[in-house]
Amino acid sequence: MNKILVSGKVEGIVLKSNDPINFLGTVDKKTGIISDKKHPLFEKAIKDTILVFPSGVGSSVGAYTIYSIKSNKSCLSCNTLLHEENHYHKFKS
Amino acid sequence: LKSTYKYYNCNNDNLPLELTREEESALKGEQGEIMQMAYRILVATGEATDAEKLIPIEWAHLSGVNYNTIGDAGEELLSTISKDARVTVKTTLNPMGFDIDNVSNYKLDENFISKQLSIRNSYETMGVIPSFSCIPYEIFDIPKNGTQVAFAESNAAIHANSYDNLKTNKESAFSALASAIVGKSPYSSLRKEDTPNITIQMKVKNPNELTYGMLGFYAGKIGDTSVNISGLGEMDQRQCKAMCGGMGTSGTCAKFNFGEGDSNTEKIDFDEKEMQNVHDELNTAEKGDLITLGSPQLGLDEISDLAAKLKGRSFQKRCMVFLPRTVKEQAQKIGYITELERAGCEILADCCTCLTPLISKDDVDAVTTNSIKGAFYLKNSNGVDVNLKSLTQIVEDETR
């Protein structure tokens, strides 16, 4: 089932993770680079990508990290959450 | 008076979120930009979580306060929206970056301090109670059973659902802020009935708060929105908080249901081996250069217990103790603060270990703590190594 939460059209390279992401503390809020050494996307930048991942985890303040990297123009083009059978097209900048 | 609203061009198969005419008008922007922004957040969250409606909440608890976490973008956003935005329900606030009473003892630059004060000012302008605490459940009266609230702070959401008989989802900083402004939240997930499909069986003997923190961290990794948990003995407040903090750090889960659950649930053991795996992931040093206590912040009972444990003893290295200002004031009256300071503790109100700007890898290689939540963020955000020990062990090893 596809769910479109915020609509739009984008093109970009897909950056896919099967692991969830804790945006607070493990993603740089200026550069969008993933700093968690144990994460499969370690040292990858989410800038200009279509980020596909199962879910955010951990801190509620991760929302501000996403907002911040958008404000710093280091943001992903689109954010797609893979959640069981649901595909959420959640966020476009 | 209800109308059916479908979000822009979305084509969802599930039942759409129903909005009242007034809600629909706010979403269209007829009640101003702030209300429109808040409703857009709530409607998108509601769509994502299959909510059928928005329902009133009585209390919002906001995260996104520490300048170290929200940065310039967050500071500017709050400054802008605070010109018009006002909260419409009781709203409390997470810790900020420092304690204004002793900030000059730490190496924070003027920019940090002024940006942090701007954030504080924005929240106060919006009508938020400046509680600067991640343990609202310990310092405010708990409303009656089943009350709907919107808690962003992850340990607080889990504590509210699991121990305080309140109902909240694991809100994001923005969904909780939107709920504070609108006074409503999407009626979905943990706000309704929940039936966990996993039961975690606690098998570790003689657990302390560190064990419960690791249990929570483990549960957060495997649970979805809630888990059953069995085999727990009597737990004190420190251990309950540690378990909530651990779970909030690792996952999406926001509730413990205590008991075995029904026979259909998948049973998973938390044993010595699983505990060791979590320990190995988070414990990266044999010893720390300094000690932090509090993530979540310490409540009055924990401060009282700490003062008793430190009777006649002194720390041999720095020990930072984080607590809410209201707890500090109560503890001062009773004399605990004098006792803790005599033992060498640095008492810090309004802030917390988690994402603290007061510990820098330029000065510190490793930190000793009993907090799993603190350990995760110290390691990943501050970039320092972590030495995990229970409070009893810390007092035994680090004081004389």
pLDDT for B148-163, tens place per residue?
A: 999 999 999 999 999 9
Mean pLDDT of B201-220: 98
- Whether B8 has its CB under 8 Å from any CB of chain A: the answer is yes
- Whether B73 has its CB under 8 Å from any CB of chain A: the answer is yes
Pairing of strands B227-230, B256-258: parallel
**Can you tell me the distance from the alpha carbon of B370 to that of B303, in angstroms, rounded to the nearest whole number?**
15
**Can you tell me the distance from the alpha carbon of B371 to that of B391, in angstroms, rounded to the nearest whole number?**
9
Q: Give the pLDDT of residue B239.
A: 98
Q: Any idea which of A64-78, B3-17, B64-78 has the lowest mean pLDDT?
A: B3-17
Please give the backbone phi and psi of residue B271, each rounded to the nearest 5 degrees, phi first: -115, -175
Residue with the bigger pLDDT between B54 and A70: it is B54
Pick the residue from chain B with its C-alpha nearest to A71. B73
Q: Give the pLDDT of residue A51.
A: 87
Chain A interface residues (partner B, CB cutoff 8 A): 1-7, 20, 22, 24-26, 29-30, 35-36, 38, 55-65, 67-68, 70-72, 81, 88, 90
Asked if B381 and A68 come within 8 Å (Cβ–Cβ), the reply is: no
In chain A, DSSP finds a helix count (H) and a strand count (E) of 2, 5
Which CA distances in Å does B299 have to B140, B164, B237, B302, B327?
12, 16, 9, 5, 6
Q: Quote the mean pLDDT of chain A.
A: 79
pLDDT tens, residue by residue, B228-282: 999 999 999 999 999 999 999 999 999 999 999 988 999 999 999 999 999 999 9
**B249 interaction partners in chain A (CB closer than 8 Å):** 22, 58-59
CB-based burial, B200-213: b 16+ in 10 Å, e otherwise: bebebeebbbbbbb
Under the banding of pLDDT at 50, 70 and 90, the label for residue A1 is low
CB atoms inside a 10 Å sphere around CB B103:
17
pLDDT tens, residue by residue, B50-88: 999 999 999 999 999 999 999 999 999 999 999 999 999
A–B interface: beta-carbon pairs under 8 A: 117
In chain B, DSSP finds a helix count (H) and a strand count (E) of 15, 16
- Measured in angstroms, the CA of B337 and the nearest CA of chain A are apart by 30
Pick the residue from chain B with its C-alpha nearest to A24. B69
CB contact set of B94 (below 8 Å; sequence gap of 6+): B61, B62, B63, B64, B65, B66, B132, B133, B134, B152, B153
**Residue from the list B9, B73, B252 with its beta carbon closest to the beta carbon of A57:** B252
Token pair recorded at residue B303: 């401060």
- Whether B316 has its CB under 8 Å from any CB of chain A: the answer is no
Which CA distances in Å does B74 have to A64, B141, B159, B219?
6, 30, 26, 31
**A1 interaction partners in chain B (CB closer than 8 Å):** 12-14
Query: Is omega for the bond preceding B296 within 30 degrees of 0, making it cis?
Result: yes
User: Is pLDDT at B1 greater than 70 in this prediction?
Assistant: no
Q: Checking phi first, is residue B127 left (phi over 0); if not, alpha (psi -120 to 50) or beta?
A: left
Interface test with B, best of A59, A69, A82 (most B CBs within 10 A): A59
Q: Give the pLDDT of residue A93.
A: 38
CB contact set of B333 (below 8 Å; sequence gap of 6+): none
pLDDT tens, residue by residue, B280-295: 999 999 999 999 999 9
- Measured in angstroms, the CA of A11 and the nearest CA of chain B are apart by 19
SS3 A56: strand
Token pair recorded at residue B99: 């304690």
Instruction: Say how many Å lie between the first and final Cα of chain B, rounded.
Output: 70
- Whether B302 has its CB under 8 Å from any CB of chain A: the answer is no
Under the banding of pLDDT at 50, 70 and 90, the label for residue B7 is very low
Do B355 and B67 meet the contact criterion of CB atoms below 8 Å apart?
no
**B47 interaction partners in chain A (CB closer than 8 Å):** 3, 5
pLDDT tens, residue by residue, B365-399: 999 999 999 999 999 999 999 999 999 999 999 99
Under the banding of pLDDT at 50, 70 and 90, the label for residue B6 is very low
Interface test with A, best of B69, B123, B278, B282 (most A CBs within 10 A): B69
Q: Give the pLDDT of residue A47.
A: 81
Asked if A63 and B10 come within 8 Å (Cβ–Cβ), the reply is: no
Q: Give the pLDDT of residue B380.
A: 92
- The ipTM is 0.89
Q: Any idea which of A25-34, B80-89, B104-113 has the lowest mean pLDDT?
A: A25-34
Q: Give the pLDDT of residue B46.
A: 94
Under the banding of pLDDT at 50, 70 and 90, the label for residue A87 is very low
Under the banding of pLDDT at 50, 70 and 90, the label for residue A77 is low
Give which of B373, B383, B398, B5 is closest to B153, Cα–Cα: B373
Under the banding of pLDDT at 50, 70 and 90, the label for residue B301 is very high
pLDDT tens, residue by residue, B312-366: 999 999 999 999 999 999 999 999 999 999 999 999 999 999 999 999 999 999 9
Amino acid at B33: E
**Residue from the list A26, A61, A90 with its beta carbon closest to the beta carbon of B380:** A26
**B14 interaction partners in chain A (CB closer than 8 Å):** 1, 3
* SS3 annotation, B111-173: HHHHHHHHHHHHHHHCCCCCCCCCCHHHHCCCCCCCCECEECCHHHHHHHHHHCCCECCCCCH
**Can you tell me the distance from the alpha carbon of B151 to that of B55, in angstroms, rounded to the nearest whole number?**
15
Strands of chain B, DSSP E: 2-4, 18-20, 54-56, 59-62, 90-93, 150-151, 184-186, 198-202, 227-230, 256-258, 266-270, 290-293, 319-323, 345-349, 366-369, 385-388
Please give the backbone phi and psi of residue B92, each rounded to the nearest 5 degrees, phi first: -115, 175
**Can you tell me the distance from the alpha carbon of B142 to that of B144, in angstroms, rounded to the nearest whole number?**
7
**Percentage above 70 pLDDT, chain B:** 96
Q: Choose, from A17, A59, A68, A93, the residue flagged as catalytic.
A: A59
Mean pLDDT of B165-190: 97
SS3 B376: helix
Amino acid at B356: T
Question: Could you confirm whether A7 is annotated as catalytic?
Answer: no
Asked if B11 and A88 come within 8 Å (Cβ–Cβ), the reply is: no
Give which of B160, B162, B188 is closest to B61, Cα–Cα: B160
Asked if B73 and A71 come within 8 Å (Cβ–Cβ), the reply is: yes
Under the banding of pLDDT at 50, 70 and 90, the label for residue A84 is very low
